[in-house]
Amino acid sequence: MAIHPQAGLLASHDLLVNLPELMSAYYLNKPSVTKNPDERVSFGTSGHRGSALSTSFNEHHILAIAQAIAEYRKSQNITGPLYLGKDTHALSEAAFQTTVSVLTANGVRVRTQLNGGYTPTPVISHAILTHNKQASGSDMSDGIVITPSHNPPEDGGIKYNSSKGGPADKDITDWVAKRANALLEADLQGVKRFSPDEVEASGLIEPFDFINHYVNDLENVIDMKAIADKKIRIGVDPMGGSGIHYWEPIAKKYGLDITVVNKEVDPTFRFVPRDKDGRIRMDCSSPYSMQGLLKLKDDFDIAVGNDPDYDRHGIVCSGFGLMNPNAYLAVAIEYLSQHRKQWPQKIQFGKTLVSSGMIDRVVDGLGRPLCEVPVGFKWYVEGMFNGTMAFGGEESAGASFLRKDASVWTTDKDGFIMALLAAEILAVTGQDPQTLYEAQVAKYGRPFYKRIDVAATPAQKALLGALDAKDVTQTELAGEDIVSALTHAPGNNAAIGGLKVSTKNGWFAARPSGTENVYKIYLESFISEEHLDELEKEAKALVDSVLAK
Q: Report how far residue 274's alpha carbon sits from residue 7's, in angstroms, rounded to the nearest whole number.
A: 5
Closest residue by Cα to residue 159 from 451, 381, 387: 381
Catalytic residue among 149, 286, 337, 396: 149
Sign of the dihedral defined by the CA atoms of residues 273, 277, 283, 285, in that order: negative
Distance set, CA 264 to CA 255, 270, 407, 445 (Å): 24, 10, 36, 41
Q: Report how far residue 293's alpha carbon sits from residue 284's, in angstroms, rounded to the nearest whole number.
A: 10
Other beta carbons within 10 angstroms of residue 114's beta carbon come to: 11
3-state secondary structure of 47: strand
φ/ψ of 124, rounded to 5, equals -65, -45
Cβ atoms of 326 and 355 within 8 Å: the answer is: yes
3-state secondary structure of 358: helix
User: Which residues touch 215 (CB under 8 Å, ≥6 apart)?
Assistant: 246, 249, 250, 253
Closest residue by Cα to residue 416 from 293, 545, 251, 267: 251
Q: Report how far residue 506's alpha carbon sits from residue 310's, in angstroms, rounded to the nearest whole number.
A: 32
Pairing of strands 48-51, 155-161: antiparallel
Tell me the H-state helices in 57-160: 59-75, 90-105, 121-134
Other beta carbons within 10 angstroms of residue 71's beta carbon come to: 18
Please calculate the CA angle 539-498-479 and round it to the nearest 5 degrees.
25
Closest residue by Cα to residue 170 from 492, 518, 510: 492
3-state secondary structure of 546: helix
Cβ atoms of 335 and 312 within 8 Å: the answer is: no
User: What is the DSSP code (8-state) at residue 167?
Assistant: B
Helix/strand/coil percentages in the chain, nearest 5: 40, 20, 40
The amino acid at 513 = S
H or E stretch including 549? none
Cβ atoms of 308 and 240 within 8 Å: the answer is: yes
H or E stretch including 208? strand 205-208
The strand ranges marked E within 209-329 are 233-237, 257-260, 302-306, 313-317, 321-322
The amino acid at 486 = L
Cβ atoms of 74 and 44 within 8 Å: the answer is: no
For residue 32, indicate whether it is catalytic: no
Cβ atoms of 160 and 144 within 8 Å: the answer is: yes
Pairing of strands 302-306, 313-317: antiparallel
**Which residues are known to be catalytic?**
149
